Amino acid sequence: MPLWGATDSDESKPKHLTTAQKKEVFANASGWVVEAGSTQSGNGNTSATPEVLVAIGGLATSLGSADITEIDWITTAADKSDGFSLSVRVFFNEPVDVDTSGGTPYLAVTNGNEGSGSGRGPHNLPYASGTGTNELVFTLAIAADNAATNADDVLSIGANAMNLNSGTIKDAGTATASTITNSSSIGSDAGTLTVTA
């Protein structure tokens, strides 16, 4: 079994890394690299050049289009009475550029409507930040006591949750459209978020 690969699957990232560490590793023109500012590099400078873990010239180009490798919640608590920002981080296997001139991409969060009533959701979180990196953040502010959620609602991320909405997400520095589909298992890795009173 090789110690790393040159395909776009998450399993191709260096094998000695934990699942959490793989979130900070992506492909670029130099090979598999750890993002700047990562604790893995020992350098807290987020403006530094990414550290090369495995040198494979032209890796990002040979992988083809960027793929979603994981989706995580940034929001850890959702209190209906106080209001909250619903935020999600989407990890790609290589850096991507977001263009919002035609429209703003969003990520749909499903509301299971476990609280009283029905008809709430999905919640469309517009793109907020991350262009030029392998991590995009999507955020939606929900005001205090807003009808968008009720206590006990369970929020989750399903399959194919991202929508370009006439914007674009492309491999960084290229015209290659990134793959924005995700399986429900990637979304379920994020778990669920339950709204409290």
Classify residue 48: in a domain, yes or no: yes
Residue 127 pLDDT greater than 90, yes or no: yes
- In tens, the pLDDT along 7-51 reads 766 668 888 888 889 889 999 999 999 998 888 887 788 888 899
Tell me what pLDDT residue 1 has. 55
Domain shared by 92 and 149, yes or no: yes
Classify residue 4: in a domain, yes or no: no
Residue 179 pLDDT greater than 80, yes or no: yes
Domain shared by 102 and 161, yes or no: yes
Structural domain for 185, as ranges:
68-196
Domain shared by 78 and 163, yes or no: yes
Residue 187 pLDDT greater than 70, yes or no: no
Nearest to 33 by CA among 15, 10, 49: 49
Of the candidate ranges 94-103, 148-157, 179-188, the one whose mean pLDDT is the lowest: 179-188
Please tell me the pTM assigned to this model: 0.89
User: Cβ contacts of residue 185 below 8 Å, gap of 6+?
Assistant: none
Rg of the chain's alpha carbons, rounded to an integer? 18
Classify residue 1: in a domain, yes or no: no
Tell me what pLDDT residue 42 has. 79
Total of domains in the chain: 2
